[in-house]
Amino acid sequence: MAHVSDLIASDIESYLRKHEEKSLLRFITCGSVDDGKSTLIGRLLYDSKMIFEDQLAALEADSKKVGTQGGNIDFALLVDGLSAEREQGITIDVAYRFFSTDKRKFIVADTPGHEQYTRNMITGASTADLAVILIDARKGVLTQTRRHSFLVKLVGIRRVVLAVNKMDLVDWSQERFDEIVADYTAFATSIGISEFVAIPISGLQGDNIAAKGQASPWYHGPILLPYLETVELDADRLQAGPLRLPVQWVSRPNLDFRGFAGQIARGTVRPGDAVRVLPSGRTSTVARIVAFDGDLNEAVAGQSVTLTLSDEIDCSRGDVIAAAADPPEAADQFETTLVWMADEPLLPGRPYWLKIGAKTVGASVTEIKHKINVNTLEHLAAKDLALNEIAVVNISLDQAVAFEAYEASADLGGFILIDRISNATAGAGMIHFALRRAHNIHRQALDVTPQSRAAAKGQKPAVLWFTGLSGAGKSTIANAVERQLHAAGKHTYILDGDNVRHGLNRDLGFTDADRVENIRRVAEVAALMADAGLIVLVSFISPFRAERRMARERVPDGQFFEIFVDTPLEVAEARDVKGLYKKARAGELKHFTGIDSPYEAPENAEVRIVPGQSADEAAAEIIKRLGL
């Protein structure tokens, strides 16, 4: 006879096995402040009668304090707990709740309702299959309702539930419900939400959440929790598409095995299927599908597998294995929608890392086409983006990547921008399409190489980048360096900040955005001149480390030398050769470096020049230390 503990263990194993096999629905709750998101989540957890162990233990402990028995969770206590978390600011970082019914598992993201937490709303929505948008029946469609609906559409959530809450406070008026649904329908249609399910509910009383309420005999539509249990998942749709597998890892434990591991983003794959690797375009066929439990005859979207190919072709982390007959595009310039998530503003031309799937490439925003007022949907002109702002922008990459429009594939159309210095996530974006220029512009092969140009001049090309405050002595020292190099028979050219602003950069001002573009253009010209075999001397304040790093990356290793003319502010201001500091102090000159605009000093300059040397002495030291 089996011991009772064995029977209990068997029951637990059976439950866990059944639980593991359930499908998973990720959804978000959103809407205006005090529309009842916490109350609704509390009711869902209460009515589901299934809460993960960590939550269940804590809630059961609390339930004993209020006298409930048998593990029944006091609903008011649960709602109070969720509200207390909101007051403590926990939901600012997106609070995730886990629960389960007999039919499905759920992860719900309780996203904050305040406008300043747009980035948190985007974070919670980025992996959701469905959005529950709450409306207070007394207040109707509000600005925040429209805002969150726009963001839901923006991140590609296809299924929307309009939960008209607090119907008990309007006496379950069918006329009021129909009025709200009509108002929301008009707005939803204007932003491209073609269909949604509207349900009248009472989060506090539980009507139409787990079961039909008696107070709304006129309502004959779906009930919320049963609808969530049966709604079609995106995974079902993705399995029907063409194969897309972003390669996350190349596995080669021995010489006889070379596999490409990743999670299938779209489609189905079988041994023998013809595939194409992007962006290279090389083709092969699938030899094996290797999983944890052994080889598979088929794998579908959502599964993590390792594919082996019949041919030894070049395929690396970040590449995409796709159906040979229906591959995605590859390009290096895109129109995108970008949500800015950093405290420091986005400046066009500034270099960032862009991560799409498992691939990371260099990127910069080349144009802000317009900023979007998410409250009014108005398109606004902009030169930069601040925290939580959203814009349509053009982005340029330093190499082509495989992609699809975000609406077709979040995996191949969604990306993040990463700050190159802090490595923090700076923005999240959605690709619309490749710019036509990405397909029409190709590099021309040239017979005369940079090496042959340099050899003809008998010198090593170099970019000497002089940086420092206005009045530090950059131009004077750069001029002395060029004079000595010219006397030694070297081929040189000076790009001086003031001189360049009379021609190439005459259209630029002195805002942070214009300063970034100023340096971007000069860095490109300096790189071309170095490619021609010249020693290029660049004398610009260039106040930001990010742009100086970008200039360094534009030339081959060993050709860029940062020279920091480290003159203290008080010394430079005392010189004030051009009278600029005086104007800046008087408020007549805005965005002046060192006064009302920052200067980020180099951290690892090749040469640092301090006051006390003449220009010729500093020049001789630079030439000697750099071996020119």
3-state secondary structure of 286: strand
Q: How confident is the model at residue 74 (pLDDT cuts 50, 70, 90)?
A: low
pLDDT exceeds 90 at position 308: yes
Q: Which of 259-263, 312-316, 507-511 has the lowest mean pLDDT?
A: 507-511
Asked if the structure places residue 168 within a domain, the reply is yes
Angle between helices 450-457 and 512-531 (to 10 degrees): 70
Higher pLDDT, 139 or 411: 139
Q: Which of 121-125, 294-298, 478-482, 573-577 has the lowest mean pLDDT?
A: 121-125
The confidence score (pLDDT) of residue 47 equals 78
Q: Which of 70-79, 345-354, 539-548 has the lowest mean pLDDT?
A: 70-79
Distance CA 572, CA 575 (A): 5
Shared domain for 412 and 471, answered yes or no, is no
Q: What is the mean pLDDT of residues 555-568?
A: 93
Shared domain for 513 and 613, answered yes or no, is yes
Shared domain for 525 and 617, answered yes or no, is yes
Residues annotated as catalytic (active site), given as ranges: 542
Q: What is the mean pLDDT of residues 232-242?
A: 75
pLDDT exceeds 90 at position 252: no
Task: Give CA torsion, residues 343, 349, 354, 360, to 10 deg.
Answer: -130
Distance CA 44, CA 26 (A): 14
Distance CA 565, CA 623 (A): 15
Q: What is the mean pLDDT of residues 519-523?
A: 91
The confidence score (pLDDT) of residue 32 equals 80
Shared domain for 477 and 618, answered yes or no, is yes
Asked if the structure places residue 445 within a domain, the reply is no
Asked if the structure places residue 486 within a domain, the reply is yes
Higher pLDDT, 261 or 74: 261
Asked if the structure places residue 427 within a domain, the reply is yes
Q: What is the mean pLDDT of residues 603-616?
A: 90
Asked if the structure places residue 88 within a domain, the reply is yes
Convert the pLDDT of each residue in 372-386 to its tens digit: 987 788 899 998 899
Structure tokens at 270: 């079988």
Shared domain for 340 and 267, answered yes or no, is no
Residues in the chain: 628
Q: What is the mean pLDDT of residues 44-55?
A: 60
Convert the pLDDT of each residue in 125-173 to its tens digit: 878 889 999 999 999 998 888 888 988 888 888 899 999 999 999 999 9
What residue numbers bound the domain in which 353 lies? Answer: 329-439
Asked if the structure places residue 444 within a domain, the reply is no
Shared domain for 43 and 177, answered yes or no, is yes
Angle between helices 174-191 and 143-154 (to 10 degrees): 50
- Domain boundary residue among 212, 232, 252? 232
Average pLDDT over the chain, rounded to whole? 84
The confidence score (pLDDT) of residue 171 equals 96
- Domain boundary residue among 303, 323, 343? 323
3-state secondary structure of 488: coil
- Domain boundary residue among 418, 439, 460? 439
Q: What is the mean pLDDT of residues 337-357?
A: 91
φ, ψ of residue 436 to 5 degrees: the values are: -60, -35
pLDDT exceeds 90 at position 99: no
Query: Which CATH number covers residue 15?
Result: 3.40.50.300
Higher pLDDT, 35 or 542: 542
Angle between helices 118-125 and 143-154 (to 10 degrees): 50
pLDDT exceeds 60 at position 368: yes
Shared domain for 216 and 280, answered yes or no, is no
Shared domain for 213 and 118, answered yes or no, is yes
The confidence score (pLDDT) of residue 67 equals 38
**Pick from 166, 208, 41: nearest CA to 109:** 41
**Pick from 470, 456, 525, 467: nearest CA to 495:** 525
Q: Which of 235-239, 414-418, 623-627 has the lowest mean pLDDT?
A: 235-239
Asked if the structure places residue 62 within a domain, the reply is yes
Higher pLDDT, 406 or 236: 406
Shared domain for 171 and 186, answered yes or no, is yes
> How big is the CA angle at 116 (ends 115 and 121), to the nearest 5 degrees?
70
What is the distance between the terminal CA atoms of the chain, rounded to a whole angstrom? 91
Q: Tokens 């070379």 belong to which residue? A: 258
Shared domain for 491 and 599, answered yes or no, is yes
195 HSE (CA, 13 A, CB side): 2
Query: Which CATH number covers residue 404?
Result: 2.40.30.10
Asked if the structure places residue 96 within a domain, the reply is yes
Shared domain for 270 and 218, answered yes or no, is no
The confidence score (pLDDT) of residue 218 equals 96
Convert the pLDDT of each residue in 255-306 to its tens digit: 788 999 999 998 999 999 999 999 989 999 999 999 988 899 999 988 899 9
- pTM strictly above 0.85: no
The confidence score (pLDDT) of residue 56 equals 45
Shared domain for 370 and 461, answered yes or no, is no
The confidence score (pLDDT) of residue 113 equals 59
Q: How many domains does the chain have?
A: 4
Q: How confident is the model at residue 50 (pLDDT cuts 50, 70, 90)?
A: very low
Distance CA 393, CA 558 (A): 34
Distance CA 20, CA 23 (A): 8
